[in-house]
Amino acid sequence: MNRQKTYEELIKENEELHQQLEEATDTIQAIRSGQVDALVVKSPNGGHQLFTLKTADQTYRVFIEKMNEGAVTLSHEGLILYCNSMFASMINMPLSRVLGLHFSDFIADGFQEIYLDLFNNGWREDSKTELCVTRGGELVPCQLSVTMLQLDEGPALSVILTDLSFQKEIQQLLKQNNLRLAEINTELEVSNHDLQQFASIASHDLQEPLRKILIFSTMLRNKLVDELTDENVTYLNKIIASSQRMRNMITDILSYSRLSTNVNNFAVTSLNEVIDEVIEDYEILILEKKAEIIVDKLPDIEVNRGQIKQVFQNLISNSIKFSKPGLAPVIRISGGVREGSEGSLKDSTGTKNCFVTISDNGIGFDELYYEKIFSLFERLNTKDKYEGSGIGLAITKKIIDKHNGSIAVSSKEGEGAVFELTLPISQRLG
């Protein structure tokens, strides 16, 4: 008859078993982390056996434990023979409870068929797919990569799980941002269209009363020229001059607003022919100012002819307008193609660029104003001294920008100005 153990004996036996369990846990952890290379195990017959762990296995174990992906080794039946701590963390279960379970138990509903295909193909070739594993009631999107391993105990299937949660969140965020950007772009297009319509309507409606002001003011001045005092004539002249400035400003605003459209109509154009047209348009002004315009041979490039003509109109008229009192304006226009040198102007697609330089001997301006002269409505001189809306150079820069080019200026007060345009010879990409 077996003697019943006392409470004290049971307590002592429980403590011994607990101590053995802690030792076993420490040993397993040491094996997992590669801290031991051999084990001495006491056999049932009283002898001892030495089990040596391969060095390669040690390195592999350390690597698997340190990696950020989950790692699982499966048997032919799909049982978990080994897993690292990261996989246990991914499914939020203690490591000791995971071993021996079917890996399919952690595959979310709706992905079982995908997993079975991956599992069966993995024994024949390396495969990968995306599916969801379960973490309690939560779904964790993962990428599974499988490959067959030849172990001492036989073949096994290695599964590497990469948590895609953060990546999916970023993709969703990007998708939402792209949708929002698309909405904003649509709103901007509608807004730009409304602004262009407003500018066109406003310009037309404003010009009509201005025309009447100009006509009747001029008629009044001419009709009453003998009856008006000099002071009254001065007042009428100011009304007429102000009305003309407003008309020019409205025209420039309308021109600027039209540049917001995406209709470019690029075509290969002779820059020399465009400049000849501008010189012909300004023939009377050039004769009045006794201006000399020297134009070198320029390349033919792909541009919007009407817009580029406006660029040269603005730059040439500015050079004439801002000439020194008592000195005839001299304007020189030169250019060419830059390539094969340190200053080569070639973009990543290999498109060649040309440069055009417009220099004059006018009043120039202080270098402090380099950044301001291309701003809308920016004037460096008073309207009483020099006419203009302050929009011409802003229009010029916007046109050059639409041609994927650039414009630069150098000047000193009293020493003239030099504008340099850089434009692609061809607007075609690739």
Start-end of CATH 3.30.565.10 domains in the chain: 265-430
Query: For residue 17, is pLDDT > 70?
Result: no
Q: Decide if 90 contacts 72 (C-beta within 8 A).
A: no
Q: Decide if 61 contacts 92 (C-beta within 8 A).
A: no
Which pTM was predicted?
0.47
Residue pointed to by tokens 């499914």: 91
Query: For residue 18, is pLDDT > 50?
Result: yes
**Which residues lie closer than 8 Å to 187 by C-beta, 6 or more apart?**
none
Question: The tokens of 301 are what?
Answer: 């490039």
Start-end of CATH 3.30.450.20 domains in the chain: 13-162
Residue 263's pLDDT is 58
Residue 9's pLDDT is 72
CATH architecture classification, 265-430: 2-Layer Sandwich (3.30)
What is the sign of the dihedral through the CA atoms of 397, 399, 403 and 404? Answer: positive
Query: For residue 54, is pLDDT > 70?
Result: no
Query: Hey, what amino acid is at 173?
Result: L
pLDDT in tens, 250-266: 776 676 666 665 556 78
Residue 341's pLDDT is 40
Start-end of CATH 1.10.287.130 domains in the chain: 164-262
DSSP H stretches of helix in 364-426: 392-402
Query: For residue 130, is pLDDT > 60?
Result: yes
Query: For residue 348, is pLDDT > 50?
Result: no
Query: For residue 296, is pLDDT > 90?
Result: yes
What is the sign of the dihedral through the CA atoms of 56, 59, 61 and 67? Answer: negative
pLDDT in tens, 331-346: 999 998 876 444 334 4
* Mean pLDDT of all residues in 51-71: 61
Q: How far apart are CA 109 and CA 139, in angstroms?
A: 10
Q: What is the mean pLDDT of the chain?
A: 78
pLDDT in tens, 212-246: 888 888 888 888 877 888 888 888 888 888 887 77
Written as one string, the DSSP assignment of 107-155 is BPTT-HHHHHHHHHHHTTS-EEEEEEEEETTEEEEEEEEEEEEEETTEE
13-162 fold: Beta-Lactamase (3.30.450)
pLDDT in tens, 350-402: 568 899 999 999 888 777 666 677 765 444 444 444 454 457 788 888 889 88
Does domain 164-262 fall under CATH 3.40.190.10? My reply is: no
